Amino acid sequence: MKPAFAVLMAALLVFLPQAAVRDPAVVEFAAGTIDLQEWMPIWSDEFSGSEIDRRRWTFDIGNGFTTEDGIYIWGWGNNELQFYTARPENARISNGHLVIEARRELYEGLPYTSAKLKTSGLFSMKYGKVEIRARVPAGKGLWPALWMLPEQNRYGTWAASGEIDIMEGHGSQPEIISGAIHYGGPWPENTYTVEEYRFPDGSTAGDFHVYTLEWESDELRWYVDGVLYHTQTDWYSRGPGASVNHPYPAPFDQPFYLIMNLAVGGTFDGNPDDTTPFPAIMEVDYVRVYRLHR
């Protein structure tokens, strides 16, 4: 537990529901600037142990996935070049931080390795607030992301069931990040809405910043260090070839799980070049999730 929060922990647990206290992933922090009259802490990872907590996180392994039709999608559908592993070389706890390290090395026939952690099957949320304090690396072809996918594809395959990007970083443009939602019909009938945030005063994504998503039934809001930069209220979900949408607020009316990863190469920032530094390090100080009291 972070020292700054340890003193307040006992008092906070008094007000948590008993079911939450028995949960092995019980929240382990007291909110600093969060209004506890409005937001109830429900889940967190402060990365204060010696190893990644497998009660909270699982890993994607490999360089792609198999669709429901049995088709293997190479490069995670984005032409990415990394092989994701669960090795400590690629994901570990160090000095109270989660470290995700992308390495230039030949592994399973691919030129890079990295890691992708997710809470699928362990924790998901429908509405609430997510706060993640992190810093991410710069370099052409690096693609760090903090994002969310639905626990079940209730409305169909991607992106009919939605995707929420809390933060994505272009390695070649460390002065900006973006937040987005993906929705519409199944690929290729999907669409997205995105907004960029430019860091002030010479700061970059390589510095620690707090990335926040506030998600209510009819509105999503994105913040960096408490500054609101994007609000979204308009989206839809539609079945393949359908002329009528699913009732609003589909697809963002179902539980989503958390994902943190550092991709290498692909469609978002292109492929690395001779200037890209390796190993590339992404550090996460904490992940904290709240629900609204009201």
Catalytic residue check, 28: no
Contacts of 59 (CB under 8 A, 6+ apart): 84, 85, 86, 91, 115, 116, 117, 118
Do residues 29 and 285 touch, judged by C-beta distance below 8 A? Answer: no
The two tokens of residue 100 are 């995700």
Q: Given the residues 163, 189, 216, 283, select the one marked as catalytic.
A: 163
Q: Is the peptide bond before 188 cis (omega within 30 degrees of 0)?
A: yes
HSE toward the beta carbon, residue 144, CA cutoff 13 A: 26
- Number of helices (H), then strands (E), belonging to the chain: the values are 2, 19
Question: Which residue do the tokens 């510095």 mark?
Answer: 207
Give CA–CA dist 101/263, Å, rounded. Answer: 10
Catalytic residue check, 189: no
Q: Given the residues 131, 168, 214, 283, select the one marked as catalytic.
A: 168
Catalytic residues: 163, 168
